């Protein structure tokens, strides 16, 4: 399964209708969460009870009834996804906060299943939404041809609001695998801050630092925004325009980081048959106040996500191994050589002199080849995997979940 995305071209009243549908979906999600919270211990609530509760909300609120019935159920399923994740963490006794579900104040998308929408059969790249929200017929702007695929293969349609406009996403259930000739190569990757990564062959990828380079422009736009803010008063149109410019620049930086990760991951997977990398828990590393901005800027998770995606697409083997002692152990003799973060060269008594990141990449490759480790695969909207989830979780994006198989 993969996702096609188009930009939406519509009239102002249609865009307002999309906003209303997004607010209604958020309302259903929050009401379903409240229904679960208010349930007593004797009356246990499951995902099917939340789906049934959508019918009660439709009878009680007319604006909820105007939304498509399957779109209401998807909103309830989003609430249950947070509840199930909370239960799972409690069951596994994961240390720290368990992620108790919270109410959403802002949301940016509404999702339909197989009903409530229809692609035009005569004119290409038009979609019509038939619920009572008044969205109507929208024009899709993009280079990919949605009519190449059967309408039965489209499992979900999502309307997304971003800083630069509205988008329509199609989740298509088709195979995305491509057969490639084997390269007979294996590589280990060690991510870092000086370099984006260093591989076991001695090559390094420079850190793009998109946020650092755009930080000056962001600060300037933020100052302009703060000057136009009026506390306790209705904000002017100038304030709204300044806020929109700031949002667009943040969106530009995030897209730059995502496209860079996609390009680098594709090159790594096409050049090697086996890719070994560290199984890093990023959410713990960003708690370091001195390094959190740099770690977030480089986008380690985005790089790992696309490596695992292209690994499945091209039939490559991707392995995540524990990062313990990969920087300390010598890749030649195996002895421990203690280092500080400022020490950039690995020097051992056996005579080995290497860059510390290259030394770690070689150790990572050895770990991956000596044991099966956690073989990362990319499963889109699938529940047929057997094994544990990876330590990183996806954000709100096109792709849903990364798993790792033992």
Reported as a pLDDT band with limits 50, 70 and 90, residue 180 is: confident
Residue 100 lies in a domain: yes
Mean pLDDT of the region 384-393: 35
| C-alpha distance from residue 54 to each of 30, 32, 111, 113, 298 (Å) | 11, 8, 15, 15, 41
| Range in 238-247, 293-302, 351-360 with the lowest mean pLDDT | 351-360
Are residues 202 and 347 part of one domain? yes
Q: 287 is in which domain, residue-wise?
A: 186-211+253-405
pLDDT of residue 397: 40
Hey, CA dihedral for 319, 321, 326, 329, is it positive or negative? negative
Residues 196 and 272 in one domain: yes
Mean pLDDT, the chain, rounded, equals 87
Q: Are residue 341 and residue 390 in the same domain, yes or no?
A: yes
User: What pLDDT does 314 receive?
Assistant: 92
Q: How many C-beta neighbours within 10 Å does residue 68 have?
A: 23
What's the mean pLDDT in 368-389? 48
pLDDT tens track for 187-199:
999 999 989 999 9
pLDDT at 391: 36
Assess whether 193 and 321 both reside in one domain: yes
Q: Among 47, 72, 105, give the residue marking a domain's end.
A: 105
Residue 173 pLDDT > 60, yes or no?
yes
Q: State whether 71 and 130 are in the same domain.
A: no
* Of 154, 163, 126, the residue nearest 10 (C-alpha): 126
Q: What is the CA radius of gyration of the chain?
A: 24
Give the residue-averaged pLDDT of 370-384.
47
Structure-token match 């779109």, residue found: 71
C-beta of residue 86 within 8 angstroms of C-beta of residue 113:
no
130: tokens are 């038939």
Residue for token pair 């088709």 = 174
| pLDDT at 147 (0 to 100) | 81
Residue 320 has pLDDT above 60, yes or no: yes
Q: Is residue 239 part of a domain?
A: no
Q: Is 195 in the same domain as 311? A: yes
Q: Are residues 40 and 149 in the same domain?
A: no
pLDDT for the residue 304: 94
| Tally of domains in the chain | 3
> For 209-227, how does the pLDDT look when each residue is reduced to its tens digit (9 = 90+)?
999 999 999 999 999 999 9
Pair 403, 377: CB distance under 8 Å: yes
Task: For residue 188, list its beta bridge partners.
Answer: 276
User: What digits encode the pLDDT tens for the residues 1-51?
Assistant: 788 999 999 999 999 999 999 999 999 999 999 999 998 677 889 999 999
Q: Is the pLDDT of residue 236 over 90?
A: yes
Q: Is residue 177 part of a domain?
A: no
Query: Cα 394–395–399 angle (5° rounding)?
Result: 60
Give the list of residues 6+ apart from residue 340 with CB closer than 8 angstroms, or none: none
- pLDDT tier, 382 (very low <50, low <70, confident <90, very high otherwise): very low
With a cut of 60, say whether residue 357 has pLDDT above it. Answer: yes
pLDDT of residue 39: 85
pLDDT at 40: 67
- Do 21 and 128 reside in the same domain of the chain? no
Q: End of a domain among 141, 172, 203?
A: 172
Q: Which pLDDT score, from 0 to 100, does residue 190 have?
A: 92
In this model, does residue 77 exceed pLDDT 90?
yes
Look at residues 59, 58, 36, 37 and name the one whose alpha carbon lies nearest to residue 48.
Answer: 36
pLDDT band of residue 398 (cuts 50, 70, 90) is: very low
394-403 in b/e burial notation, b at 16+ Cβ within 10 A? eeeeebeebb
Same structural domain, 92 and 190: no
The neighbouring-strand residues paired with 22 are: none
Q: What is the pLDDT of residue 372?
A: 52
Q: What is the mean pLDDT of residues 175-198?
A: 90
How far does Cα 77 stand from its chain's mean position? 18
* Claim to verify: residue 322 and residue 284 sit in the same structural domain: yes
Q: Does 329 share its domain with 199?
A: yes
Q: Which of 105, 127, 149 is the last residue of a domain?
A: 105
Tens of pLDDT, residue by residue over 104-148, are: 999 999 999 999 999 987 777 899 999 999 999 999 998 888 888
> Does residue 218 sit within a domain?
no
Q: Are residues 191 and 167 in the same domain?
A: no
Look at residue 90 in the predicted model and tell me its pLDDT: 92
Inside any domain, residue 248:
no
């Amino acid at each position: 399964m993969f996702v096609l995305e188009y930009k939406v071209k519509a009239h102002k009243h249609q865009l307002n209708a999309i906003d209303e549908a997004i607010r209604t979906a958020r309302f259903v999600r929050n009401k379903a969460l409240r229904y679960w919270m208010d349930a007593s211990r004797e009356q246990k609530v499951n995902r099917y009870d939340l789906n049934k509760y959508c019918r009660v909300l439709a009878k009680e609120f007319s604006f909820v009834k105007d939304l498509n019935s399957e779109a209401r159920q998807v909103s309830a399923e989003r609430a249950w996804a947070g509840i199930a994740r909370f239960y799972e963490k409690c069951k596994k006794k994961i240390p720290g906060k368990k992620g108790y579900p919270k109410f959403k104040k802002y949301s940016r998308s509404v999702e339909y299943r197989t009903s409530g929408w229809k692609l035009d059969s005569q004119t290409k790249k038009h979609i019509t939404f038939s619920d009572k929200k008044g969205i109507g017929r929208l024009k899709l702007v993009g280079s990919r041809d949605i009519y190449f695929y059967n309408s039965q293969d489209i499992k979900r349609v999502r309307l997304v609001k971003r800083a630069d406009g509205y988008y329509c996403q199609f989740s298509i259930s088709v195979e995305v695998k491509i057969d490639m000739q084997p390269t007979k190569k294996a590589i280990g990757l060690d991510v870092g801050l000086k370099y984006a990564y260093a591989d076991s062959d001695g090559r390094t990828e420079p850190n793009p630092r998109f946020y650092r380079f755009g930080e000056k422009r962001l600060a300037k736009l933020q100052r302009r925004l703060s000057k136009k803010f009026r506390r306790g008063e209705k904000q002017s149109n100038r304030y709204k325009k300044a806020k929109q410019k700031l949002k667009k620049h943040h969106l530009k930086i995030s897209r730059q980081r995502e496209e860079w990760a996609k390009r680098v991951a594709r090159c790594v997977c096409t050049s090697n048959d086996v890719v070994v990398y560290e199984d890093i828990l990023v959410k713990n590393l960003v708690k370091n106040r001195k390094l959190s901005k740099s770690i977030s800027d480089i986008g380690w998770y985005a790089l790992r996500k696309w490596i695992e995606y292209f690994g499945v697409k091209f039939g490559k083997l991707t392995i995540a191994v524990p990062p313990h002692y990969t920087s300390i152990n010598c890749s030649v003799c195996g002895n421990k050589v203690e280092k500080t973060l400022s020490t950039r060269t690995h020097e051992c008594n056996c005579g080995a002199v290497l860059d510390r990141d290259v030394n770690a990449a070689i150790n990572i490759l050895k770990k991956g080849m000596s044991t099966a480790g956690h073989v990362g695969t990319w499963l889109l909207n699938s529940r047929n995997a057997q094994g544990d989830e990876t330590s990183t979780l996806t954000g709100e994006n096109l792709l849903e979940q990364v798993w790792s198989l033992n």
